[in-house]
Amino acid sequence: MEPIEQLSYILPTLTAVVDRIEPGQLGDTTPCANFTVHDVLDHMMVLGGTFAYMFRGENPPEVTAPDVDDRVPAAEFREAMDDLLAAVKSPGAMERTISAPFGDVPGSVFARFVAFDGLIHGWDLATSTKQNYDLPTAVISSVDEFARGALGPDMRDGDTFKDETPVPQGAGQLERLVAFSGRSL
């Protein structure tokens, strides 16, 4: 499955999770170490906004999270994810070289990292807010295949990714991928 197709499933599913977050859940902890629900939302809007410029071949300005006080930034999140998806689909985005935090890579490779990150953070948000997080098996399999080939020991710095955690008996495909990313189940 190509990364554009992965993101075409992941980003709308993630946005639907955000649409159901209640303001009282913003301060809740998430499986993403040291991140609350609010922190994950900010992180995703800032990086998604920055990555959109990169996929379009533009120099990103400093992107900041919206100041929303105590409300869930659902509209702002949707706008950032819609812009990211449009940028990924823009002419030349998959062929363009992107200067990622881990080195220069083709847009198609970077988009796969974005899909992996979005899928895992979506699980973080859904888990923290006690929501279902349903993605097609083919999407999870495709992201999993990429992640297992791309996530090397040098990327497991304890911050971005931790060491793989144990998987409970009967864990599904998504849970196995989440554990591979270093999240505790």
Predicted confidence at residue 185, as pLDDT, reads 82
- Look up the pTM and report it: 0.93
Integer distance in angstroms from the first to the last C-alpha of the chain?
27
Predicted confidence at residue 138, as pLDDT, reads 97
Q: Which domains does the chain have, with CATH numbers?
A: 3-180 (1.20.120.450)
* Alpha helix ranges (H) inside 3-136: 3-19, 37-55, 74-88, 107-128
Q: Tens digit of pLDDT for each residue in 110-137?
A: 999 999 999 999 999 999 999 999 999 9
Compute mean pLDDT per 10 residues along the chain, 185 residues long, and list them.
Answer: 97 98 97 93 96 96 89 97 98 95 91 96 97 96 94 72 84 94 86
Tell me the CA distances in angstroms from 32 to 12, 139, 144, 178, one per residue in order. Answer: 21, 21, 18, 10
DSSP for 109-167 reads HHHHHHHHHHHHHHHHHHHHTT------HHHHHHHHHHHHHH--GGG--SSSS------
Predicted confidence at residue 28, as pLDDT, reads 97
Contacts of 155 (CB under 8 A, 6+ apart): 102, 161
Predicted confidence at residue 83, as pLDDT, reads 98
Predicted confidence at residue 97, as pLDDT, reads 96
Predicted confidence at residue 182, as pLDDT, reads 87
